[in-house]
Amino acid sequence: MSWWEGVLLGVVQGFTEFLPISSSGHLVVVEAALGITTPGVVIEVVLHVATLLAVVIVYRKVLWRLAAGAVVGDHTAWRYIGLLAIGTVPAALAGLFLAEWFEQAFQSLMLVGLNFLITGTVLWSTRERVRHAARPSPSTKGAFGIGVAQALAILPGISRSGTTVAAAIWLGVDPVRAAEFSFLLAVPAIAGAAVLQIPNLSGGLVSAGALPVAAGFLAALVSGVAAIRLLIFLLRNKVFHRFAPYCWGVGALTILLASLGM
């Protein structure tokens, strides 16, 4: 694996992890289309850690406020932390008990293409609701529902940020606050996914090469921060649904690639 492949995968991961267009789906398509072979799971783990750091950088003030509030027993901080914990449960259960089933889904380009079409439809469905959403945070049941959306997004082609933000908007949460909840919900999800892969990292860094890994990490971090800020801007301007045609186009292209046997 070369350094430029590391950069390419890092940029793809960073932008697509937070824009509502599915990072896992794009990585599957890019690797299939360009014939890139990643050595083991080390690149995947490194890129996920980079995007986790991007969330921490952008939302550092919110995270600090929650941590400080938790220490002094602030009810609002503890309620929000509780909502994040509830929202984490579905993905955690799915990762523990359905890991093999989800891994098999990554082997089917056709399924990835169909999932892109689903993501586009989900995004398009928010175009009217986004104008009336004003709640600062979801309810307890709402947080669990957003968590279910995050669990479904383990499937390649289903966008984690897209489905969770859309679910929050459907529940009446203000679009910008919906993004905040979605990205903070990503912290335990991304960290948990990386931890689960630690036993598989043996020898991966050596075979991947330090330069490609470092280049991919930096590219994912920078593009991840940019993607989060871009999505917040688009949500603030209520044009979140405009990612739908892109997802439909990528879905159609992916289905075409699958039908050609790529």
Question: pLDDT for 150-164, tens place per residue?
Answer: 999 888 889 999 999
**Whether the predicted pLDDT of 28 surpasses 80:** no
The confidence score (pLDDT) of residue 16 equals 87
Domain range list for the chain:
3-259
> Both tokens of residue 31?
């690797």
Query: In angstroms, rounded to a whole number, what is the distance separating the alpha carbons of residues 24 and 19?
Result: 12
The better pLDDT of the pair 198, 222 is held by 222
Q: Does pLDDT of 210 surpass 90?
A: no
Residue type at 249?
A: G
Confidence at residue 258, expressed as pLDDT on a 0 to 100 scale:
87
Cβ burial, residue 261 (10 Å; 0-12/13-18/19+): exposed
d(CA 11, CA 4): 10
pLDDT in tens, 77-94: 999 999 999 999 998 898
The tokens for 173 are 């949460």
Where is average pLDDT lowest: 30-44, 161-175, 194-208? 194-208
pLDDT at 192 over 90: no
| Residues 237, 243, 246: CA angle, nearest 5 degrees | 150
Dist CA 43 CA 53 (whole Å): 15
Asked if residue 99 has pLDDT above 80, the reply is: no
Structure-block tokens of residue 80? 């929000």
* Residue-averaged pLDDT of the chain: 87
Say which DSSP state 98 is in. Answer: S
Look at 86-95, 107-116, 148-157, 207-216 and tell me which has the smallest mean pLDDT: 207-216
Please say if the pLDDT value at position 204 is more than 60: no
pLDDT at 40: 55
CA-to-CA distance for 120 and 166, rounded, in angstroms? 11
Q: Is pLDDT above 70 for 73?
A: yes
Helices (H), the chain: 3-18, 23-34, 42-58, 60-72, 75-97, 99-105, 109-124, 140-152, 160-170, 175-197, 204-208, 210-236, 244-259
Mean pLDDT for 213-233 is: 93
Mean pLDDT across the stretch 108-123? 93
